[in-house]
Structure formats: C-alpha cells, structure tokens
Amino acid sequence: MKILVIWRLLTVGGVNAGWRNRAIYFKKHGITTDFLYTKDLGGMHMMEDVAEVFLTKDKDKIHQIIKGNQYDAIIVVDTSQAYTWIEETNYKGPIIIEARTPEITKLKQNLQGKEKINPKKFIVPSEYQKGVLSILLDQPKPIEVIHNSIDTSFFRPLEKEEMNQGNEPVLPENKKIVAYIGRLDHRKNWRLFLKIAEMVSKERKDIEFWVIGGNKSVEKELFEKERKNKKLGDVVKWFPVIPYHQMPTIYAKIKHSGGCTIATTRSESFGNTFIESMACGVPVIAPSISSIPEIVVNGETGYLYRENYIRGAAEHIYRIVNRPNQYEKLSNKARERVEKMFSLSLCANKYIETLKEITKGRGNK
C-alpha cells in the first residue's frame, strides 16, 4: 500500500512527530508513506530520513505528485487547499481528513471545501477533538479517535551513562529542571509560563527553567524581549534548536534532576510532548483543559492545574521537586500509562486497520 499525507507545515511539532513514528511503523508493515508540505518550519530533519518528502507550493508539481504516484489513499491534515488539488487531479481513491486544530474557528476554515472530495472518514487524536469536530460537520460522517503514539523503545528512561552529558543543555548541579517544550506562540501561552517562572524564582533558588525549541516560532522575539524585561535570563535558559533525536537525553536530564515538564497551552487536540515526557519517566504539569486530562492523570502521572492559575502551577512544581520519595512512583506510572494507551504498536495498528478498511476493493492501480 502507498499513501500520501498532505499538511501545510513541516514543523518539529506533535503532528509531524506523530506521523514520523507512524511512517516508520507502517514501512515495517508494507505501507509506504509519502509527505507533501508547502512550508518548511525547521522539521525537514525529522522526516527526510524516514520517507519521501515533497516540499512545494507549485500547483502543477502538486498535481504531478498526486497523479504520478497512484496512491491507495490520501490523508489531508488541516489543509483546505488540498481539497482543490485533489479535485483538480480527478483522484478517485479514498480520502481521510485528519482534523487536528483545536480552535473551532480555525478548524472551520480548514474544513472549507471538504465536500469537493467526499472524505471516507475523519480521524482525530482525542475524544475532546471528536467533540469539537462533530459541532462543525453538517451531516453525520464517521469520526474515529486514534491517539498519537510514540516508539517507547526510543522514548524511554535513560541511565546517566546513556545521556550525552556534554551537549546543551548542560545539567547544572543542585538544580531541579522544569522544562517548557514546544512553540512560542499565542496558543502555547509562553507568557503564562514566564509568569510562573517569575513567581517561582522569587520563592526558590534551586529550580532552573528550560525552554526547548521555538527557533521558528512567530513570537520568539517577543518571548526573548519579555524574558529580558523580567530579568529572567539566569532562571529561564532558552535552547531554540534541539534535534528530535536528542529529545530522550533532554528528558533524561530533567528526570535525573528530579524535575518535570510544564505546559501552559490554551488548548490542545492531543499534545505529543506529554506522552514523550511520560514515556521517559518525567512527570507532567499542565492545565486541566481540552484533551489534556485524557493523557495526564492528575496525581498519578503528573498534576493538572486550573487554567491560568499561576499559584496552582507553582505549587504543583513544588509538590514534585520536594517529594523525591514520591517521584519514582509518578515516574513509573507515567511510563506505564504511555505503554498501555499510546504505544506505537497499539495506535499505529489501529490506523493500519482503518486504511485497510477504506482501501478494500479499490481499483486505482
């Protein structure tokens, strides 16, 4: 089987991380995955070693890709332009729409024109996202929840001797690490993160904050300006470019410090960094909103705080770093949850079954 995944943005974020993992797994099971993007935001290194990647905005080239490869199925991820491209090529195979955008107004825009292609099925990464999508569908269509997944043999707790100690970020002595991982934009809400870091820095001297990623983010200059204005340069260390393959070492450094990861996002349809962190035995602190309670179990794999509640988030940080005896329990539960709910074999197999179902009897080749 050969499939094409179309998405606008070649990022280092969760959508591409999830698809990278799937593509590797699919290949072992006889499914070739090609990717078509229109804009590279620093994610090429993640995808180019696992699949054929097309990066173009040229409509003629896109038509040629779709016509020339005789795909058994096409999956469109939040890219309304793709409906026109597919219609113009007169593609007759089955189409899946993956609806990933959690903001309902943006999701509505991403679905405009979907009637041109008559999708066989919609796939979403969480029950929360299924609810958001169902509001926008004018007629009943099958919506299937297939969680993002990760390779738990790659994302796993590392021993100290397995870590690359010399690479940045270097683990400081006698400091607990609290890490924000991901984009620097309005939805990820880095401003709230800086407010939490500011409060904690006034109360504790044994906690250091790391920001991992954000090099291609739209608000990175605003973030840097605010970090300097708040005089947080010594407290909040920023590492804008960390290759994807180094992330298990990043999580290992956080774990060995007795720290955690923290999210301040306004909404999530899933959130890959949560399962990465948990798979590596690192507890997660996040707001109790949208899909997050489906992933992070409060008090078991981390802690959930009330949205925008700075004091609540800070208290959860203290709860983790002050209780080393409880840390391993949180760590082990986090790892167990990922293995049970979000392992690559479990979730990717579900996707394979869906692909087999919709391509049955198709005569495109």
- Domain holding 209: CATH number? 3.40.50.2000
127 pLDDT band (50/70/90 cuts)?
very high
Q: CB-hemisphere CA count at 13 Å for 172?
A: 16
Using the predicted structure, report yes or no on whether residue 284 has a pLDDT greater than 50.
yes
In terms of domains, do 13 and 101 share one? yes
Per-residue pLDDT tens for 12-58?
A: 888 898 999 999 999 999 999 999 999 998 889 889 889 999 999 99
The domain total for the chain is: 2
For the purposes of burial, counting CB atoms within 10 Å of the CB of 340, is it exposed (0-12), middle (13-18) or buried (19 or more)? exposed
Per-residue pLDDT tens for 56-76?
A: 999 999 999 999 999 999 999
Per-residue pLDDT tens for 85-117?
A: 999 999 999 999 999 999 999 999 999 999 999
> Does some domain include residue 168?
yes
Neighbours of 325 (CB within 10 A): 6
Identify which of 20, 37, 30 has the alpha carbon closest to the alpha carbon of residue 76.
37
Per-residue pLDDT tens for 293-312?
A: 999 999 999 999 999 999 99
DSSP codes joined into one string, 60-82: HHHHHHHHHTT-SEEEEES-THH
In terms of domains, do 306 and 178 share one? yes
> Does some domain include residue 171?
yes
In terms of domains, do 139 and 166 share one? no
> Does some domain include residue 365?
no
In terms of domains, do 316 and 254 share one? yes
Using the predicted structure, report yes or no on whether residue 363 has a pLDDT greater than 50.
no
In terms of domains, do 37 and 67 share one? yes
360 pLDDT band (50/70/90 cuts)?
confident
pLDDT of residue 347: 96
In terms of domains, do 164 and 233 share one? yes
> Does some domain include residue 364?
no
In terms of domains, do 253 and 318 share one? yes
Task: Compute the mean pLDDT over every residue in the chain, rounded to the nearest whole number.
Answer: 95
Question: Distance from first CA to last CA of the chain, Å, rounded?
Answer: 11
H/E stretch holding 318 reads helix 310-321
256 pLDDT band (50/70/90 cuts)?
very high
Using the predicted structure, report yes or no on whether residue 361 has a pLDDT greater than 60.
no
In terms of domains, do 70 and 91 share one? yes
pLDDT of residue 365: 41
In terms of domains, do 11 and 67 share one? yes
In terms of domains, do 176 and 140 share one? no
Domain of 56, in residue numbers: 2-149+343-359
Identity (one letter) of the amino acid at 203? Answer: E
Query: What mean pLDDT is predicted for residues 313-338?
Result: 97
pLDDT of residue 13: 82
pLDDT of residue 357: 95
Helices 272-279 and 14-28, packing angle to 10 deg: 70
Please calculate the CA angle 239-232-257 and round it to the nearest 5 degrees: 60
Using the predicted structure, report yes or no on whether residue 202 has a pLDDT greater than 90.
yes
Using the predicted structure, report yes or no on whether residue 134 has a pLDDT greater than 90.
yes
Query: What mean pLDDT is predicted for residues 157-184?
Result: 93
Name the percent of the chain lying above pLDDT 70. 99
pLDDT of residue 138: 80
> Does some domain include residue 177?
yes
Cα 358 from Cα 285, distance rounded (Å):
39
> Does some domain include residue 142?
yes
Binning the chain into helix, strand and coil, the percentages to the nearest 5 are 45, 20, 40
Residues 6+ apart with CB under 8 A from 12: 41, 42, 43, 46, 213, 216, 244
Which residues sit opposite 180 in a β-bridge? 211
**CA 254 → CA 182, 272, 302, distances in Å?**
15, 17, 14
Per-residue pLDDT tens for 230-242?
A: 999 999 999 999 9
Using the predicted structure, report yes or no on whether residue 318 has a pLDDT greater than 60.
yes
In terms of domains, do 212 and 276 share one? yes
Cα 333 from Cα 281, distance rounded (Å):
8
> Does some domain include residue 155?
no
The dihedral built from the CA positions of residue 20, 23, 27 and 32, taken in this order, carries a sign that is negative
